[in-house]
Structure 1
């Protein structure tokens, strides 16, 4: 991988050309795009091999990473603008990718732990944001360090839930909820669909019930925005939850 990633303007025609070419190559490698049965463990339903291939083939060019927009997700940026002071907050950024969302949290004063299970992604993010108050680590959502349990004041995830097939949603939701300390919050952002709307993935947009199911994991829904974002007006959920403190707890 190149020592430093290229920071091209996302509206540059050459960047767009490279991204389009990369998407075609990655789709050809993706078992989910080739119609592999989602309940067959032989095709790697957690998609680890494919995600690792994304960063390997990108070789330091952000155009090769479909979600590598070199800026925080707009709905996260909007939420942070409304919640600007995260001083003393311990935050976890799930599936950090190239690190832009983690950096946005750190810029608001949070002490950020950011993880991805792709080592190349973590290396890339470390290089980009060296010097910021971010601990970038390689970790697996499905086998996270035990010391992270109920540790974080704010847990943020964008696009992680929508990236894996629906049968993994219950395990992912519980893992995310388990990171939140009593009194802490979870901010989840994903593509949205109607309950009866079928969309071939990946990604697999979530229905309202998929988001509200966090309430079965010990969380309480504070707000759920059904909104659109970006030039293509893609529909998203932005959900904020909190974990109640035990009765009598400070």
Structure 2
């Protein structure tokens, strides 16, 4: 949650006389209230709604893909295939993969985030949709050769982090790959973002994935996981 925000809201006529709040500080307020109410992921849609109303700067408002994702793509040169971006937000990473020729789905828990992503990318070929990683629609399960998770696990405490990790793992098709990018040391135990440990990442292995790579890059965990094909399949 430390990326510099964009200067304008998406899909809004900006009020030049209004002073927008910085979204990370508002996120911490909303997250604290949601956690206290026993709904630790309820704050996402409210934050995006306030952004749509021009009250806060765009959450996770990058216009460019995550550098660690582009570095992985450059290194591995995966063939374009079915891809999904978990917690896609405003769509920078999903649009990047689509530009490379992937058949991309981007989903987010927040309906406002999905609307804003579609408004920001009016000519998109990405299939944006609302979905909850803890209760995924059947058509998403096991459907993707490339699954990308960036800054989603770190945005929530546990629970529901374990349930989200389990859901993310189910997206990966046989012979598919999961790329995970999350902040290793937040410096603020109250969050968000919340501390991510190696044990959190190991949860993905408990879901039947095999860890292929793990490193720390600029304070971020960058990990890849692979789902083996069933015996006898290539």
Q: Structure 1 length normalisation: TM-score?
A: 0.79
Query: Which of 82, 85, 104 is equivalent to 1:90?
Result: 82
Secondary structure of 1:57's partner? helix
Check the 8 A contact 1:93/1:101 in 2, yes or no.
yes
Partner of 1:75: 68
Equivalent runs, 1:204-219 vs 2, <5 Å: 204-219=194-209
Instruction: Tell me, in whole angstroms, the C-alpha distance in 1 between the residues paired with 2:126 and 2:90.
Output: 13
Higher helix fraction (1 or 2): 1
Check the 8 A contact 1:32/1:202 in 2, yes or no.
no
Partner of 1:232: none
User: Which has the larger displacement, 163-172 or 76-85?
Assistant: 76-85
Partner of 1:51: 44
Check the 8 A contact 1:19/1:66 in 2, yes or no.
no
Partner of 2:6: none
Instruction: Tell me, in whole angstroms, the C-alpha distance in 2 between the residues paired with 1:119 and 1:18.
Output: 21
Instruction: Tell me, in whole angstroms, the C-alpha distance in 2 between the residues paired with 1:219 and 1:60.
Output: 40
Shift of 1:171: 1.3
Once the two structures are superposed, residues 31-53 of structure 1 have per-residue CA deviations (whole angstroms, 9 ceiling, x without a partner) of 259xx55xxxx3312x22x1111
Once the two structures are superposed, residues 118-166 of structure 1 have per-residue CA deviations (whole angstroms, 9 ceiling, x without a partner) of 1111111112223332101111111111121111101111111111112
Partner of 1:245: 229
- Verify: 1:108 aligned to 2:100, yes or no: yes
Check the 8 A contact 1:54/1:64 in 2, yes or no.
no
Secondary structure of 1:115's partner? strand
Instruction: Tell me, in whole angstroms, the C-alpha distance in 2 between the residues paired with 1:166 and 1:240.
Output: 21
Residues 199 and 105 of structure 1: is their aligned pair in 2 closer, same or farther, counting only changes over 3 Å?
Answer: same
Secondary structure of 1:167's partner? coil
Shift of 1:220: 0.5
Instruction: Tell me, in whole angstroms, the C-alpha distance in 1 between the residues paired with 2:220 and 2:97.
Output: 20
* Aligned residues between the structures: 223
Residues 246 and 236 of structure 1: is their aligned pair in 2 closer, same or farther, counting only changes over 3 Å?
Answer: same
Secondary structure of 2:211's partner? strand
Q: Structure 2 length normalisation: TM-score?
A: 0.84
Check the 8 A contact 1:60/1:124 in 2, yes or no.
no
Instruction: Tell me, in whole angstroms, the C-alpha distance in 2 between the residues paired with 1:214 and 1:26.
Output: 26
Identify unmatched segments of 5+ residues in structure 1: 8-13, 229-234
Partner of 2:29: 28
Secondary structure of 1:64's partner? coil
Secondary structure of 2:206's partner? helix
Equivalent runs, 1:216-227 vs 2, <5 Å: 216-227=206-217
Identify unmatched segments of 5+ residues in structure 2: 1-8
Secondary structure of 1:172's partner? helix
